[in-house]
């Protein structure tokens, strides 16, 4: 608790919280990923995530001014990583909160077999809730800015993930044949993961880089838990008109929310409009990532009991290419991002690399 510089108030001493220290929602994103976009139906076959993004929290952090689960998580971060809050109240720093609800499913290639397929990946599902804290800083006199993310993910692996029911529903609606081997899926167990990521890019004062331009975003991350334990590093190249002042576009993953703190979002509704305000634009991007994997539940199986598993490869590379565009509609920000993702073989028995498509629609209130 000392990481925040004060003790929480007693029940007889209710906190006096300014609007900038309280939680208010800024917008949300609905993201869908599916390998049918790439003409297949296997491996990582579907992912869906709904995220809610808060407005910026300004000044020194006061957990007592936040809803208790989020305040508790802020204290947890202060306990496990005290340095995360260093200079959090500085004028150049801002932070926000992201809540994410999602589901992911994985299947082998042969949908007709009802027996366990030992040389292909297990049937697996994950249902999860993620809570992320984003902190954006501009080091003094530096030409770059930094986004630090700490995301805690809690969920369930196995039948309780409802992956089988979700896939059956979609296949029935679209007239596809059902996958018949879900009786062999991984068993129920709790899922936990802590993600720590840092991204950095050239500093921009306005909500967009005006006109035609390009930039490069770097990142490195560590994820720990029985969902995935891995370390990764990546680069994203962007080029286009009015590139947004954010930290890029990514497939679904912890720490991948692409709308970090920005105290310029509300300028879109000002009259006359500020030269620093958000404005319509579009850009193409290429995202490259290399990852060292020590554990992946969808390949290694259940952690707390024996289960079907395959020979996981320790090194995985991934590339994503796409286009992102943003508009101002009735003084609200709208964004659409489309991407195609290619991933190298994740286990020895896998037949070739894997590909899937991703679509994300965002709205700012």
Please write the tens of the pLDDT for every residue from 16-37.
787 777 888 989 999 999 988 8
Phi, psi of 356 (to 5 degrees): -155, 165
Give the fold, CATH level 3, of 2-6+25-364: Lipocalin (2.40.128)
C-alpha to C-alpha distance for 354 and 352, rounded to whole angstroms = 7
* Cβ neighbours of residue 83 closer than 8 Å, sequence gap 6 or more: none
Site of tokens 């579009």? 282
> What span, in angstroms and rounded, lies between the C-alpha atoms of 88 and 161?
37
Select the more confidently predicted residue: 273 or 108. Answer: 108
Structure tokens at 320: 């994503």
> How many residues are present in the chain?
365
Domain ranges of the chain: 2-6+25-364
CA distance 269 to 30: 23
First to last CA, the chain: 33
68 contacts: CB under 8 Å, gap ≥ 6: none
For the cut 70, the answer to whether the pLDDT of residue 254 exceeds it is: no
With a cut of 60, say whether residue 14 has pLDDT above it.
no
Residue 203: pLDDT above 70? yes
The yes-or-no verdict on residue 131 having pLDDT over 90 is: yes
What pLDDT score was predicted for residue 175? Answer: 87
Q: Of 78-87, 153-162, 199-208, give the lowest mean pLDDT range.
A: 78-87
Burial of residue 56 (number of CB atoms within 10 Å: 0-12, 13-18, 19+):
buried
Per-residue pLDDT of 58-80, as tens digits, reads 777 788 888 999 999 988 988 88
pLDDT for the residue 8: 43
Nearest CA among 245, 255, 230, 68 for reference residue 150: 255
């Amino acid at each position: 608790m000392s990481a925040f510089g004060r003790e929480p108030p007693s029940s007889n001493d209710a906190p006096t919280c300014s609007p900038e220290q309280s939680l208010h929602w800024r917008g949300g994103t609905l993201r869908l990923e599916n390998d049918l976009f790439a003409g297949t139906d296997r491996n990582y076959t579907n992912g869906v995530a709904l995220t809610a993004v808060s407005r910026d929290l300004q000044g020194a952090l006061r957990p007592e001014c936040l809803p208790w689960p989020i305040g508790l998580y802020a204290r947890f971060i202060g306990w496990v990583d005290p340095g995360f809050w260093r200079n959090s109240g500085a004028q150049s720093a801002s932070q926000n909160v992201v809540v994410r609800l999602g589901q992911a499913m994985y299947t082998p290639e042969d949908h007709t077999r009802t027996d366990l397929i030992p040389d292909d990946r297990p049937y697996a599902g994950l249902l999860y809730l993620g809570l992320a804290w984003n902190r954006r800083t501009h080091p003094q006199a530096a030409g770059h800015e930094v986004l630090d993310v700490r995301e805690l993910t809690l969920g369930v692996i196995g039948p309780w993930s409802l992956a089988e029911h979700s896939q059956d529903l979609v296949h029935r609606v679209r007239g596809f044949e059902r996958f018949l081997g879900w009786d062999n899926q991984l068993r129920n167990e709790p899922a936990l993961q802590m993600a720590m990521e840092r991204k950095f890019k050239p500093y921009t004062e306005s909500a967009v880089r005006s006109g035609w331009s390009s930039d490069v975003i770097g990142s490195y991350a560590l994820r720990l838990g029985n969902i995935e334990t891995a370390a990764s590093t990546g680069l994203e190249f962007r080029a286009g008109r009015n590139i947004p002042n954010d930290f890029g576009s990514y497939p679904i993953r912890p720490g991948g929310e692409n709308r970090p703190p920005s105290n310029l979002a509300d300028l879109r509704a000002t009259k006359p409009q500020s030269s620093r305000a958000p404005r319509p634009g579009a850009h193409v991007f290429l995202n490259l990532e290399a990852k060292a994997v020590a554990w992946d539940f969808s390949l290694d199986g259940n952690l707390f009991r024996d289960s079907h598993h395959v020979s996981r490869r320790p090194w995985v590379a991934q590339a994503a290419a796409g286009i992102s565009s943003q508009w101002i509609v009735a003084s609200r920000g709208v964004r659409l991002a489309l991407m195609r993702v290619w991933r190298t073989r994740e286990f020895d028995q896998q037949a070739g690399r894997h590909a899937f498509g991703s679509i994300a629609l965002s709205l700012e209130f």
